[in-house]
Structure 1
Amino acid sequence: MELKDLFLTPLYLGLFYGLAFALRKRFTNALTRKYFIPALSVKFLGAIGLGLIYQFYYSGGDTFNYFNHVKTVYGAFTDSLTVGLKLLLSHGEYDPETNRYAVMMEWYRAPTEFFVIKVASFFALFCFNTYTVIGLCFALFSFTGMWAMYLTFIRIFPLAYKKLAIAVFFLPSVFFWGSGLGKDSLCMGALGWVFYGFYHAIIRPRNMATALSMGILGAYIIASVKIYILLSFLPPALFWVFNEYNQKIKSSALRLILKPLFIGLGIVVGALGASSLTAGDEKYDIEKIGERSKINNYYLTQQVASGSAYNIGEFDGSASSIVKVAPQAIVVSLFRPFLFEARNPVMLLSALEATLFIYLTVSLFYKTGILKSFKLIGGEPILSFCFIFSIIFAIGVGVNSGNFGTLVRYKIPLMPFYLGALYIMQFKARAPKRVVSRRPVQVNNARKLGRLAVTE
């Protein structure tokens, strides 16, 4: 960070807040209005905090490596607009005019990292290449997707709008690691757009053009940065579609007969979609993903672990070995680090969140009953989607990480969905006596909330 950060950051914060207050009425209602500015504020806090932590606690990191590359691209623009545009639109190819800048960038031929650099360089053009302001721009982008995610959740289940706000916006790991200059900010925002676009274009069609545009753009960004998020999203999303159509069948007997068929189709189509998405990809080709998982886990455990490594068991990269360690990977992603495993403030924060997940999961399944809980999950498409996505994603990041330092960042896409599903289950699993005793109020309130949940 430089001296100009101190002068320009307050100026741009005022500009962004002015824009937010001007647009709040357009994108909120009586239910959601009070969360709009606080949710944006924690994103800005996360972006600034991320830079400060990396500068004064870690003494460097990827966020500053990105910024050093942005300086090079920005320098190209100051020298020549044409050369700057060529560099911004390049895909790692050789060009005589841009070569003297390209050789200065280690990540010029790294597609995912260079995509982040391109986005950051675009923002840099409007803020005099100021690190903190670029971070605020990433936070603002991430917020737009997270807000779209929140609107989608409360359209599905408006009664839980208060707790869903906690799940989407106010988990410390999510707003800290999901803000600022880095991959995770782009992915969290794009994932929210994909979720919004999928629901409003396919499940409950509304504003189709907007929904499709947001969904496609979000999918493109995720595919450009972390395609494995799409790989985890696709199977449960397709299962959700089949589940919706299955529920529209009036005959319960026919519905019961056809449900396994829908499940099988979802698995097959999801697998085919995942294969086509990653075909030929060096990192995520389905045929290579097991081997890559083994290499990543070994590297992160043996080479960069600083007292925060974990072990989920031996695996050789084969599909069968990944299935074998899948239960441990799920536990480590959702419920660890435990409080006694925390070795630094960042791990302690993650441990507190994991403890919350443990408490809510155990108490919910205990009070509701295991069989009733699974029946509830199977009968509610949004719950099925959230839990399947969370489990698939938990296996992926749990196997690939190897230490809690990286896991805390890798797992943030699943956290709003898992916690959101737990909160929805809390409302769904309320004792019948409570519902009956308050029936007039509950019904009227539900109708009112249902109307208010639609803000578009």
Structure 2
Amino acid sequence: MELKDLFLTPLYLGILYGIAFALRKRYTNALTRRYFIPALTVKFIGAIGLGLIYQFYYGGGDTFNYFSHVKVVHEAFGNSFGTGLKLLMAQTPPDGDMLRYTMRMYWYEAPTEYFIVQIASVFSLLCFNSYAVIALCFAFVSFCGMWAMYVTFLRIYPLAYKKLAIAVFFLPSVFFWGSGLMKDSLCIGALGWTFYGFYHFFIAKKNLTTAALLGALGAYILISVKVYILLSFLPAALIWVFTENNRRIKSAALRTLLKPLFLGLGVAAGYFGATNLTAGDEKYDVDKLGERAKITRDYLTTYVASGSVYNIGEFDGSLGSTLKVAPQAIVVSIFRPFLFEVRNPVMLLSALEATMFIWLTLSLFYRAGFLKGLSTIIGTPILSFSFLFALVFAIGVGINSGNFGTLVRYKIPLMPFYLSALYIMQHMQIAKAGSRRGTTRAAQLNKARKLGRLAITE
């Protein structure tokens, strides 16, 4: 960060807050208004904090590598608008005017990394190329997507609106690693738009135009930056669609008869979407994901060993090997590092969150009973979707990382979904306990309907 950031950051914070206050009336309601500005504020804190940590604790990192590329693009615009525009559009192959700039950008021919550079370069043109302001803009965009995620969860289960706000916005790892000038910020926002678009278009069947546009935008960003997030999302989402349609069949016998068919179609559609979405892609083709996961894990384990390495067992990239290490990968992604494994402040933050996940998970299944808890998950589509997405994603990142330092960033997309599902289960248990204490079913339904009406912002 530079001296100009100290002067420009307060100015642009005022502008972004002004935009937020202008939007709040349109996109909030009686339940959500109180969370809008605090949620945006922690995103801004995360964006600035991430830059400071990378500068003064790590002494550099990806966020400043992106910014070094942005500075080159900004310089090109200063010298020649035409050349700058070619760089911004990633013209390939570069012409003679571009070579003096592209030779200084080692990510120019790396599409996923350069996509972040392109987005950041647009912001740089609007803020005098200030790192801090660009980071704030990423935080603002990420917040917009996560607000869409929160609104969607709220529409599905409005009774848990307070706890859902915590799950989506106020997990420290999520707002810290998912707010600055990084891939993770853009991806978690894009995941929120994809979730909103998918639910409203295919399940609620409301606001179809908005849902289609936001869902398509989110999916495009995920494909461009981290397609494996979309690959993890698709099977769970498509199974969700089929189970929701199965629930709407009035005949209980017919529902029971068709349920295996719907589940089978969901799995098949998810696999078809995943395999055809990236077929032929050297980096993300499903047939090569296992092999690449082994290479990535071995690299990170070998070269990023700093006391935070973990081992989930032998992994050779095959399907059988993946299934063998899957339980370990799930545990390491969701429930580790344990407190006794902490080696630095970053690990401590992650360990505290993991401990909370362990406590909530065990307490919920203890109170409900394992089989009843499992039955509740299977019988509640939003729970099935959220847990399935979280588990599939946990397997992928748990295998790919190899050390807690990178895992804490990789796993943030699953955290709001897993914790939201836990909180929804918790509220369902509270509702059942209320019934046993004498609270009438009609009173509970009336409260749910009232909150449901309040939860709608569209």
Residue 284 (structure 1) shift: 1.3
Give yes or no for contact 1:76–1:101 (8 Å, CA) kept in 2.
yes
Alignment match, 1:10: 10
Q: Aligned runs of 1:155-304 on 2, under 5 Å?
A: 155-304=155-304
Q: Aligned runs of 1:301-316 on 2, under 5 Å?
A: 301-316=301-316
Residue 278 (structure 1) shift: 1.2
Structure 1 stretch 151-160 or stretch 19-28: which is displaced more?
Answer: 19-28
Q: Distance in 2 between the 1:202 and 1:253 partners?
A: 25
Q: Within the alignment, does 1:438 sit opposite 2:439 as a pair?
A: yes
- Which one-letter code corresponds to 1:338 in the other structure? F
Q: Distance in 2 between the 1:255 and 1:438 partners?
A: 31
Give yes or no for contact 1:92–1:111 (8 Å, CA) kept in 2.
no
Matched position secondary structure for 2:105: coil
Q: Distance in 2 between the 1:433 and 1:217 partners?
A: 42
Superimposed CA distance per residue, residues 61-115 of structure 1 (whole angstroms, 9 cap, x where no aligned partner): 0000000000000001111111111111125422222121111101000000000
Change (3 A) 1:444 1:251: closer
Residue 280 (structure 1) shift: 1.4
Alignment match, 1:452: 454
Residue 378 (structure 1) shift: 0.8
Alignment match, 1:118: 118
Matched position secondary structure for 1:98: helix
Change (3 A) 1:442 1:255: closer
Q: Distance in 2 between the 1:293 and 1:432 partners?
A: 43
- Which one-letter code corresponds to 1:17 in the other structure? Y
Q: Distance in 2 between the 1:45 and 1:111 partners?
A: 29
Residue 433 (structure 1) shift: 4.8
Runs of at least 5 residues in structure 2 that lack an aligned partner in the other structure: none
Q: Within the alignment, does 1:390 sit opposite 2:390 as a pair?
A: yes
Q: Distance in 2 between the 1:253 and 1:361 partners?
A: 33
* TM-score using structure 2 length: 0.98
Residue 126 (structure 1) shift: 0.2
Superimposed CA distance per residue, residues 120-141 of structure 1 (whole angstroms, 9 cap, x where no aligned partner): 0000000000000000000000
Structure 1 stretch 323-332 or stretch 201-210: which is displaced more?
Answer: 201-210
Matched position secondary structure for 1:287: helix
Give yes or no for contact 2:149–2:196 (8 Å, CA) kept in 1.
yes
Give yes or no for contact 1:92–1:108 (8 Å, CA) kept in 2.
no
Identical counterparts, % of pairs? 70
- Which one-letter code corresponds to 2:18 in the other structure? G
Q: Distance in 2 between the 1:2 and 1:391 partners?
A: 41
Q: Within the alignment, does 1:42 sit opposite 2:54 as a pair?
A: no
Aligned length: 456
- Which one-letter code corresponds to 1:198 in the other structure? F
Residue 444 (structure 1) shift: 3.1
Matched position secondary structure for 2:126: coil
Give yes or no for contact 1:92–1:110 (8 Å, CA) kept in 2.
no
Give yes or no for contact 2:90–2:108 (8 Å, CA) kept in 1.
no
Give yes or no for contact 1:91–1:111 (8 Å, CA) kept in 2.
no
Matched position secondary structure for 2:29: coil
Q: Distance in 1 between the 2:411 and 2:250 partners?
A: 39
Alignment match, 2:129: 129
- Which one-letter code corresponds to 1:61 in the other structure? G
Matched position secondary structure for 1:51: helix
Residue 438 (structure 1) shift: 2.5
Q: Distance in 2 between the 1:340 and 1:171 partners?
A: 21
Give yes or no for contact 2:431–2:444 (8 Å, CA) kept in 1.
no
Give yes or no for contact 1:69–1:105 (8 Å, CA) kept in 2.
yes
- Which one-letter code corresponds to 1:39 in the other structure? A
Residue 12 (structure 1) shift: 0.5
Give yes or no for contact 1:173–1:349 (8 Å, CA) kept in 2.
yes
Q: Distance in 2 between the 1:89 and 1:432 partners?
A: 56
Q: Distance in 2 between the 1:154 and 1:90 partners?
A: 39
* TM-score using structure 1 length: 0.98
Q: Distance in 2 between the 1:335 and 1:183 partners?
A: 24
Q: Distance in 1 between the 2:151 and 2:396 partners?
A: 27
Give yes or no for contact 1:148–1:192 (8 Å, CA) kept in 2.
yes
Q: Distance in 2 between the 1:363 and 1:209 partners?
A: 41
Superimposed CA distance per residue, residues 143-164 of structure 1 (whole angstroms, 9 cap, x where no aligned partner): 0000000000000000000000
Superimposed CA distance per residue, residues 342-381 of structure 1 (whole angstroms, 9 cap, x where no aligned partner): 1111100000000000000000000001111111111111
Q: Distance in 2 between the 1:410 and 1:284 partners?
A: 16
Structure 1 stretch 48-57 or stretch 280-289: which is displaced more?
Answer: 280-289
Q: Distance in 1 between the 2:431 and 2:445 partners?
A: 16
Matched position secondary structure for 2:286: coil
Alignment match, 1:317: 317
Matched position secondary structure for 1:313: coil
Q: Distance in 2 between the 1:174 and 1:155 partners?
A: 22
Q: Distance in 1 between the 2:137 and 2:161 partners?
A: 27
Matched position secondary structure for 1:253: helix
Q: Distance in 2 between the 1:443 and 1:220 partners?
A: 39
RMSD: 1.0
Matched position secondary structure for 1:273: helix
Matched position secondary structure for 2:361: helix
